[in-house]
C-alpha cells in the first residue's frame, strides 16, 4: 500500500504545481521588469512613493511619467516663445542633487 504513496505523490505535486502556475498567470495583470522598478525607485520622489503604496506600481509609474512629460513640455515651450519674440534664449533643465553624496560632518584639514 505504501508503494501507492511513493508512485502518486510526485505526480500529484506536479499537477498541483502546474495548476497553481496557471492560476497565478490568470491573476497577474501586467508584469514589470526589475529594471523598470529600479529606474522608478531611482527617480521617484516622496509623492511618487506615496502613490506607489496607495495605488500600486503601474499608477505610480504613470503619474511620474505624466509629471516628467509636463515638466519637459514647460521647459520646451518657454524658450520657443522667447525665440519667437526675438529674445536670446538659453535652455535650462533643472536637475535634482544626488542624495547619495552628503556634506561631511567635520572639516577635512588636508
Q: Which residue has the higher pLDDT, 5 or 8?
A: 8
* CA 59 – CA 13 distance, rounded (Å): 37
* CA 4 – CA 92 distance, rounded (Å): 75
Nearest to 61 by CA among 84, 33, 83, 82: 33
Q: What is the pLDDT of residues 65-108, one digit of tens each?
A: 788 777 766 665 655 666 666 666 666 677 777 778 777 777 77
pLDDT more than 70, % of the chain: 77
pTM, to two decimals: 0.37
Amino acid at each position: 500500500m505504501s508503494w501507492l504513496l511513493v508512485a502518486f505523490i510526485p505526480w500529484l505535486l506536479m499537477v498541483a504545481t502546474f495548476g497553481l502556475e496557471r492560476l497565478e498567470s490568470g491573476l497577474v495583470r501586467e508584469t514589470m521588469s526589475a529594471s523598470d522598478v529600479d529606474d522608478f525607485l531611482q527617480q521617484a520622489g516622496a509623492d511618487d512613493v506615496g502613490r506607489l503604496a496607495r495605488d500600486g506600481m503601474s499608477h505610480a509609474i504613470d503619474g511620474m511619467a505624466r509629471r516628467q512629460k509636463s515638466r519637459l513640455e514647460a521647459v520646451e515651450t518657454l524658450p520657443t516663445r522667447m525665440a519667437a519674440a526675438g529674445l536670446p534664449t538659453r535652455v535650462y533643465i533643472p536637475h535634482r542633487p544626488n542624495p547619495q553624496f552628503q556634506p561631511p560632518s567635520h572639516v577635512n584639514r588636508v
